[in-house]
């Protein structure tokens, strides 16, 4: 929640003017800069906006998300654009001792801002906010006199290329997009990424307004110290004031749930005011599943001679975050501790939720993030090639209890460090740290995404032992200066309670694939060596901050961008166009051919790609969470990626329309507060000429995030895939004590492949005779298994679906219908074990949800 300023007095007898803010969202028009026709001006519905959306609204381009329209709309990013607004200054601005300021929260990106033809601002950073004092310019134009505000946005595409050409001494190297993108402080994914379109946007992308005041609260800061026993919290509140007036007073008020718990009045001295508070027995902020998301508010009311001039507010949480990096038997740990509680950070990586970010409403942010809670995800990583997200994003994370890993906006490149660039980056960092630091959900700032991997893969100079900062700027990897000096110093000054990490991945200057230290991006499944996903857990490190597997979106999503029904087949041109990953055809084919029997119809093909994604991610998450309880071997896992910025095939677990893929549900089960796992030891059939081993060892374990021991019952059945009958007596373990916040090994054994028919290991965990967790281990690969006569029955009773089967069923997936929310899906089912799923939002009289499963066509 940002600073909120209000007018509390209109007594014009007072010498100081209360704060007034005028929203300048409406009345804008725009045109191409090179269009000299006065008739070329087009209306803008509202700012914030992007030029692509404004052109869509005026029927000048078609929706770039449909078909091949992306290509047809690329010309927009090669032009410069001019926005214009005519407005007047309220008569109240005539009062002496008052200022008139134009405030721009975000301009994308190269902006020449003019007032009545005179340039008042030149900006070149999408991520900064700007304020311009125009008092002298408007002092004779109050009331009905009209002013003209123009924002000319130069073409970022060509400007970036120009800067690149001007600096041949720099090594312009990138993984995605074209190298010139690094020349500008603009969202890097606008140049196209391996999951999104190339769309070079321009626009007034965050609010613009006019402020009139004699005094203004520029910032409210709260620093929190918590006693070792968490029974006392010390608050240090400070505020920055803009005013030339003397005799100002600041009243600080701390509230919790609307109740005032502390207040203090202080003088304003040299533009600042401070207050300290002691809070006994504070209500701590905890992530979802570990406690309540308790939030406090601090209000500051600025006054002069008892006249209220302005007010500001920050919402904050009382919590202590630690990034635990201690030497251990493996190397060095990497995990998070909140208020003394170790947290396994299972979660996802976040990209901007739209290529036109101004189309993401607060409600849409909330809907996205609300999916994480039933998905049992604890952390979201804001990726460094997008944007510092909207306040609504972080507000929702605070309220929902979602931890935020926040990258600074550098991604997949060797960034230049010209003197003007360094100044720009420092200003950008300070601007965003001051906006974000009060959010309790933010638990780490990271310097970049994969820039150290660019250095590593291209042999750029990086000597971690060299601590002479000036030397870094002289190397062919100068951005080390940003990640190891500029940004950490900014974080230490502005957000000292939040840990800083130089990059993702990074670990003490070692190679990025070192599994003993730091965080890791594990891409040897899908990319790299393209390992079998069944061994995902053996490939991880201390914290796996990226890994993934592609899957098609749901059919309804595909139909949203395919305009010709003849193109509704898996390898159609338009479907390939809506998958930006290099080599996606070969990689998808590899993982399908290795694991399942391919089909050619689109619905069946969608199901298979989604099944493979769900299986792959499950193998990773399940194993890494098990390792959490093995001396904190793995501190967390963040799948690439949670969401999409357009309708596409990608690594997302929820598509552009928030439709959940099967992997979403698979991850929710393995990340549940208490989960059970059972797994055979992997045997690589590809390198053994498809020979089956004589025996296969297996193990069964339970993981728990609960802070105390629990007692459970365990059941393990051995069920024939062909007949659905138990091939031998089940194993039952009563009154098993499950370790708190860790892993409990329960039982192990061996499958006799030579003498036992193919069977699944079906595990259940019960508390007070109620099943709370299941897992099922299948013979691998699934393509060798026959699936006849499953006899799946779905009995609908109100909002419940009761599921029974005669034989083991793999990946029973239900339709993701708009407006409907399922309690579970993509389940494995066993005979004599009815499962009950609930569906919320299904309209009365609507058809039941459709469903399918692996081998459904064999029935």
CA–CA separation, 808 vs 806, rounded Å? 7
Q: Which of helix, strand or coil describes residue 22? A: strand
Catalytic entry in 450, 546, 615, 815: 450
Number of other CB atoms surrounding residue 268 within 10 Å: 22
CA–CA separation, 480 vs 582, rounded Å? 28
Is there a contact between 525 and 549 (Cβ–Cβ < 8 Å)?
Answer: yes
Is there a contact between 528 and 536 (Cβ–Cβ < 8 Å)?
Answer: no
CA–CA separation, 703 vs 673, rounded Å? 8
Is there a contact between 615 and 595 (Cβ–Cβ < 8 Å)?
Answer: yes
Is there a contact between 533 and 615 (Cβ–Cβ < 8 Å)?
Answer: yes
CA–CA separation, 408 vs 450, rounded Å? 12
450 is catalytic: yes
User: Following DSSP, what letter does each residue of 435-489 receive, concatenated?
Assistant: HHTT-TTEEEEES-BSHHHHHHHTT----TT---HHHHHTSS-TTHHIIIIIHHH
**Per-residue exposure over 828-838, b if at least 16 CB sit within 10 Å of its own CB, e if not:** bbbbebebebe
CA–CA separation, 769 vs 101, rounded Å? 67
Cα-based angle 162, 168, 169 (whole degrees, multiple of 5): 140
To the nearest 10 degrees (0 to 180), the angle between helices 419-436 and 487-494 is: 30
Number of other CB atoms surrounding residue 25 within 10 Å: 16
Dihedral (CA of 817, 386, 635, 748) sign = positive
Beta partners for residue 142, in sequence order? 89
Residue pointed to by tokens 């979660």:
347
CA–CA separation, 852 vs 467, rounded Å? 59
849 Cβ contact partners less than 8 Å away, ≥ 6 residues apart: 801, 814, 815, 817, 820, 822, 839, 842
CA–CA separation, 497 vs 499, rounded Å? 7
State the catalytic residues: 450
């Amino acid at each position: 929640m940002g600073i909120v300023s209000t007018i509390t007095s209109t007594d014009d007898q007072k010498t100081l003017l209360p704060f007034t803010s005028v929203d300048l969202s409406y009345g804008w028009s725009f045109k191409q800069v090179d269009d000299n026709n006065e008739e070329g001006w087009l209306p803008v519905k509202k700012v914030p906006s992007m030029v692509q959306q404004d052109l869509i609204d005026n029927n000048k381009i078609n929706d770039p998300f449909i078909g091949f329209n992306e290509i047809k709309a690329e010309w927009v990013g090669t032009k410069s654009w001019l926005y214009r607004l005519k407005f007047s200054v309220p008569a109240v601005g005539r009062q002496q001792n008052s200022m008139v300021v134009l405030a721009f929260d975000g301009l994308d990106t190269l902006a020449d801002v003019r007032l009545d033809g005179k340039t008042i601002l030149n900006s070149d950073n999408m991520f900064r906010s700007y304020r311009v004092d125009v008092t002298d310019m408007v002092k004779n134009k109050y009331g009905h006199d009209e002013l003209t505000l123009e924002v000319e946005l130069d073409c970022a595409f060509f400007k970036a290329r120009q800067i690149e050409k001007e600096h041949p001494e720099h090594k312009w190297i990138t993984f995605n997009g074209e190298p010139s993108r690094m020349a500008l402080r603009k969202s890097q994914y606008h140049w196209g990424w391996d999951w999104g379109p190339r769309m070079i946007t321009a626009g007034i992308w965050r609010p613009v307004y006019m402020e009139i005041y004699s005094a203004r609260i520029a910032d409210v800061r709260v620093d929190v110290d918590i006693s070792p026993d968490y029974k006392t919290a010390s608050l240090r509140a400070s505020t920055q004031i803009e005013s030339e007036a003397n005799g100002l007073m600041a009243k600080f008020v701390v509230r919790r749930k609307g109740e005032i718990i502390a207040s203090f009045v202080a003088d304003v001295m040299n533009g600042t005011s401070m207050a300290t508070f002691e809070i006994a027995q504070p209500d701590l902020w905890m992530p979802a599943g570990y406690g309540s998301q308790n939030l406090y508010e601090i209000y500051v009311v600025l006054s002069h001679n008892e006249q209220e001039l302005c007010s500001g507010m920050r919402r904050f949480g009382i919590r202590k975050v630690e990034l635990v990096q201690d030497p251990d038997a493996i190397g060095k740990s990497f995990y998070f501790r909140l208020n003394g509680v170790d947290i396994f950070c299972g979660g996802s990586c976040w990209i901007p939720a739209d290529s036109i970010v101004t189309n993401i409403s607060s409600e849409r942010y909330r809907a996205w993030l609300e999916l994480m809670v039933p998905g049992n995800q604890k952390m979201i990583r804001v990726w460094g090639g997008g944007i510092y997200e909207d306040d609504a994003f972080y507000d929702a994370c605070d309220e929902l209890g979602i931890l935020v890993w926040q990258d600074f906006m550098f991604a997949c490149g060797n960034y230049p460090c010209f003197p003007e660039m360094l100044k720009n980056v420092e200003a950008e960092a300070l601007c965003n740290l001051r906006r974000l630091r009060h959010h309790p959900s933010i638990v780490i700032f990271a310097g970049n995404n994969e820039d150290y991997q660019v250095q590593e893969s291209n042999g750029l100079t990086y000597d971690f032992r060299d601590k002479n900062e000036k030397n870094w700027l002289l190397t062919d990897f100068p951005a080390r200066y940003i990640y190891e000096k500029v940004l950490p110093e900014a974080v230490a000054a502005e957000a000292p309670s939040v840990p800083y990490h130089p990059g993702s991945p990074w670990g003490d200057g070692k190679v990025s694939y070192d599994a003993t230290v730091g965080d890791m991006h594990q891409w040897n499944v899908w990319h790299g060596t393209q390992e079998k996903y069944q061994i995902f857990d053996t490939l991880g490190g201390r914290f796996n901050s990226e890994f993934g597997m592609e899957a098609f979106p749901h059919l309804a999503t595909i139909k949203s961008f395919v305009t010709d029904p003849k193109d509704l087949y898996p390898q159609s041109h338009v479907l390939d166009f809506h998958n930006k990953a290099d080599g996606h055809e070969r990689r998808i084919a590899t993982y399908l051919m290795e694991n399942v029997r391919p089909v050619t119809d689109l619905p069946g093909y969608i199901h298979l790609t989604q099944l493979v994604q769900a299986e792959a991610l499950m193998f990773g998450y399940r194993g890494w969470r098990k390792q959490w309880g093995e001396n904190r071997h793995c501190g967390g896992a963040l799948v690439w990626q949670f969401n999409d910025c357009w309708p596409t095939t990608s690594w997302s677990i929820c598509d552009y329309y928030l439709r959940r893929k099967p992997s979403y549900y698979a991850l929710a089960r393995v990340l549940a507060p208490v989960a059970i796992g059972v797994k055979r030891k992997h045997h690589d059939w590809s390198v053994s000429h498809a020979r089956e081993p004589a025996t296969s060892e297996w193990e069964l374990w339970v993981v728990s995030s609960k802070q105390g021991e629990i007692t459970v019952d365990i059941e393990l059945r051995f069920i024939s895939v062909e007949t659905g009958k138990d091939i031998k007596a089940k194993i039952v373990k009563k009154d098993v004590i499950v370790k708190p916040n860790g892993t409990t090994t329960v039982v192990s054994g061996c499958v006799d492949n030579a003498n036992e028919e193919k069977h699944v290991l079906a595990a259940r965990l019960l508390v007070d005779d109620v099943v709370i967790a299941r897992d099922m281990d299948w013979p691998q690969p699934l393509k060798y298994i026959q699936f006849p006569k499953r006899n799946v029955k779905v009995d609908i009773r109100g909002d419940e679906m009761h599921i029974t089967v005669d034989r083991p069923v793999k990946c029973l997936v239900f339709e993701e219908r708009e407006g409907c929310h399922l309690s579970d899906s993509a389940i494995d089912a066993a005979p004599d074990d009815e499962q009950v799923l609930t569906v919320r939002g299904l309209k009365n009289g609507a058809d039941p949800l459709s469903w399918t499963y692996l081998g459904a066509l064999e029935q």
